[in-house]
Amino acid sequence: MESLRSLLPREWSRLLVDHLPLLDLIDAAIGESATNPDRDQIFAAFALPPVSVKVVILGQDPYPQSENAHGLAFSIPHSVRKFPPTLSNIFKEYHADLGFPIPESGDLTQWRNEGVLLLNSILTCEPGKSLSHASIGWQEFTNAALASVVTPKTVGILWGESAKKFSHYFESDALITSVHPSPLSAYRGFFGSSPFSRCNEILESKSIEPVNWLLQSGR
């Protein structure tokens, strides 16, 4: 079984070299147990090179359903047809904000390829158990990742109270916050918040190429 150290992309390993011993401790805590997402997808968000990060969308931890988790916050694999309720609400706002049709796939890899770091603050959980890996060190690691990569021009899109705890990494004029898109809270300020168009307005004001949010997705 490959170590977490070896799975972290090289550019991030160099950037976070002082925190690689922490990965070893997390590795020991997980042991050989199954995880969501699968081990080879734990660092899927980090396939985006650090120099390419221009937006951060922060989630809490992976989907507890094993078929849904694939290493990108809020995203699900292309093969999964049923959207989790939170992702459905994100797509409703995406449609209302940008006028794009609701995607056929919930795979957000295209956003990652546009420079969006889709990062969960806790990168794994036990299958079926949300927040089961909340105390093994992931938050320290993802805090270090944000501290190393966020610049005054990086836009933060933070939904919900858990994500807002990371607000201090972002300049006030590059920060977009709202309640979480969960069905429990989306109607209290997520719907109508226009995060995608606002993000592009901020990027353009900082002379950065806006994100192409359009998800081209046939099944």
| Residue bearing tokens 């078929």 | 67
Annotated catalytic residue, options 18, 27, 61, 173: 61
DSSP H or E segment with residue 28:
helix 20-30
Specify whether the CB–CB gap between 5 and 24 falls below 8 A. yes
DSSP symbols for 185-219:
TGGGTTTT--HHHHHHHHHHHTT-PPP--------
Rounded to whole angstroms, the Cα distance separating 112 from 81 reads 20
DSSP H or E segment with residue 119:
strand 116-120
Q: Which residues contact 107 (CB under 8 A, 6 or more apart)?
A: 70, 75, 76, 77, 78, 215, 217
163 φ, ψ (degrees, to nearest 5): -70, -35
Rounded to whole angstroms, the Cα distance separating 219 from 67 reads 16
Residue 61 annotated to the active site: yes
Specify whether the CB–CB gap between 113 and 210 falls below 8 A. no
Give catalytic residue positions.
Answer: 61
